[in-house]
Structure 1
Amino acid sequence: MAPTIHLVRHAQGFHNLSHAAEQLHDPDLTPLGEQQCANLRAAFPHHAKLTKLMASPMRRTVYTCLKAFGNNNLLPITALPEFQEISLQPCDVGTAVPVVSAEFAGKADYSRVEETWIEKGPDSPYEPTLEKLLARAKKGRHTLREFAGNGDEHILVVTHGGYLHFLTDDWQGVDEQHATGWSNCEYRSYQFVDPTGKDEEAALRETGESWRRRQGTSTQLTATEQLELRPLGIEKMGPYLHLINVKN
């Protein structure tokens, strides 16, 4: 059996309420966001299969993971900086490791998060340029493949709407008003295209079950078609997420 990666966009945060609210630093979930987590916990059909919880180190993603999927058998959540959101907005800049590691003590493991993860300037791998975003997404997929191994692992990752398009290289449905095609607390399931683990890109493809749940009998785009769609998706999300030099 091949490993399965369940990807989730975080629940509604206060920064999702308006453009002005994006000036909030690393915001909390709204009451609606907390209800979205409860709804997702009730609706997600694969809880018993999960073997690992992972998340962006940002507060809204860790809280979503805890509220929708956290249980004593799967904690602590592994926080990984390559899964953080992509823009320079205050809402998309994280909190210093000592602060969040104390806030989530025993519930999230920040040992793989470097102190400089909150820096997104020219010297940082987290600067939102196209080259660095593609490299970061590739690193994220390699990390998932490393954790998944060769067995029937079911890994759950909570991350962000913009980053999810780069991680999956799936560019359908990008909404220029929200810079993503993913809804808050939406989940989709993926497997590696190459089960041998030799694919340098560690490419992912949505499972048939996940696709049918979302899109019915319509046909998935091929990898070539997604690649052709990528520049349009980036053009739509670029201004909203303040991406730098994103022309492909």
Structure 2
Amino acid sequence: MAPNTKVILIRHGQATHNLEDDFQQPDPRLTELGKEQCVKGLRDAFAAGEWEDFQDLELIVVSPLFRTLETAFLAFGKEFRDKKVPFVVLPEFQETSPNPCDTGSSVESLKAAFPSLDFRNCERHDWLTKSHGFYTRTNLGVRATCARKWLFERPEKVIAVVTHSGFLRWLTPQDFPFVENRDKYRNCEYRGYTFAQTTSDDGEGSPFKLVEEHWSVELRKAKRTGEVETPVLTADPSETAAEAIAPPSQGGDGAFDDPEQPTIVF
């Protein structure tokens, strides 16, 4: 691990399934608003200095779903094309639910749409199967730990991760019982993290625990000023994987995994 590695966690821009909560759409694309969010909310904001480590970015990790791949290219495409910052596409960072909207496309179609990217990690994983195996809801806790471990062991000092609201809750489970209204990520929202100095499993994102930086907390609060506060009921993602089994028919943006609670749509 690089000393004091900084990780910026980013949710994708608005996608077509977000408009009417249509979770039967297969691997949705970004809307026009979603594309604008990627440019103005991410790329322009970073270039203007809103995220001061942007200039030192060394790696972009991205979920292999269309909306995250599009988001990554709109936000970081120049850095990638200039060969300054590589992209790594990892199925471990895909969304959590087995719904069509949260299930990816074939490697062949991804290669056709994004010919400049390396999809070798998708070829050696059965990542499109969510009814059984590693990518089921039952294994979300394990998958999130594997994802944090992968980030922890990277040599880069500044890493961006483009992923999904549901999986973000599992990457930083300790955040959501405590932040305001169990705060979920908005489209194209980002938060900055470093790794905690801990190796024990405390049930709240350890080992390899990510802790939000103070500037990130304060920036988010400032951006939320004036928003109408609406209570959001969510499951506690720090529960064990065995307790997180949910019926495959549940809706949501892949963010809800507790069968004892009503479905929450993100």
Q: Does 1:154 align with 2:153?
A: no
RMSD: 2.9
Give the AA of the match of 1:79. Answer: V
CA contact (8 A) 2:58 2:85 kept: no
Return the alpha-carbon distance in structure 1 between the equivalents of residues 61 and 7 of structure 2: 10
- How far does residue 22 in structure 1 lie from its aligned partner after superposition? 1.8
Return the alpha-carbon distance in structure 2 between the equivalents of residues 168 and 33 of structure 1: 24
Give the aligned partner of residue 16 of structure 2: 14
TM-score, normalization: structure 1?
0.79
Q: Does 1:125 align with 2:99?
A: no
Give the aligned partner of residue 99 of structure 2: 89
2:7 aligned counterpart, secondary structure = strand
Q: Which moved more, 1:180-189 or 1:199-208?
A: 199-208
2:171 aligned counterpart, secondary structure = helix
Give the AA of the match of 1:156. Answer: A
CA contact (8 A) 2:57 2:85 kept: no
CA contact (8 A) 1:97 1:115 kept: no
- How far does residue 99 in structure 1 lie from its aligned partner after superposition? 1.8
CA contact (8 A) 2:99 2:251 kept: no
Give the aligned partner of residue 102 of structure 1: 112
TM-score, normalization: structure 2?
0.74
Return the alpha-carbon distance in structure 1 between the equivalents of residues 39 and 258 of structure 2: 39
Return the alpha-carbon distance in structure 1 between the equivalents of residues 99 and 30 of structure 2: 17
1:53 aligned counterpart, secondary structure = strand
1:93-112: CA deviations, max 9, x gaps? 00111221232111x22112
Return the alpha-carbon distance in structure 1 between the equivalents of residues 172 and 221 of structure 2: 17
Give the aligned partner of residue 219 of structure 1: none
Instruction: Classify 1:244/1:204 alpha carbon distance in 2 versus 1 (closer, same or farther; 3 Å).
Output: closer
Consecutive unaligned residues in structure 2, runs of 5 or more: 223-234, 261-266
Q: Does 1:165 align with 2:169?
A: yes
- For 1:40-59, what aligned pairs fall within 5 Å after superposition? 40-44=42-46, 45=51, 46-59=53-66
Instruction: Classify 1:115/1:228 alpha carbon distance in 2 versus 1 (closer, same or farther; 3 Å).
Output: closer
Give the aligned partner of residue 62 of structure 1: 69
1:118 aligned counterpart, secondary structure = coil
Instruction: Classify 1:181/1:244 alpha carbon distance in 2 versus 1 (closer, same or farther; 3 Å).
Output: closer
Give the aligned partner of residue 33 of structure 2: 32
Give the aligned partner of residue 211 of structure 2: 205
Higher helix fraction (1 or 2): 1
**Percentage of pairs with the same residue:** 35
1:210 aligned counterpart, secondary structure = helix
Return the alpha-carbon distance in structure 2 between the equivalents of residues 125 and 18 of structure 1: 30
1:26-48: CA deviations, max 9, x gaps? 01100000000111111123321
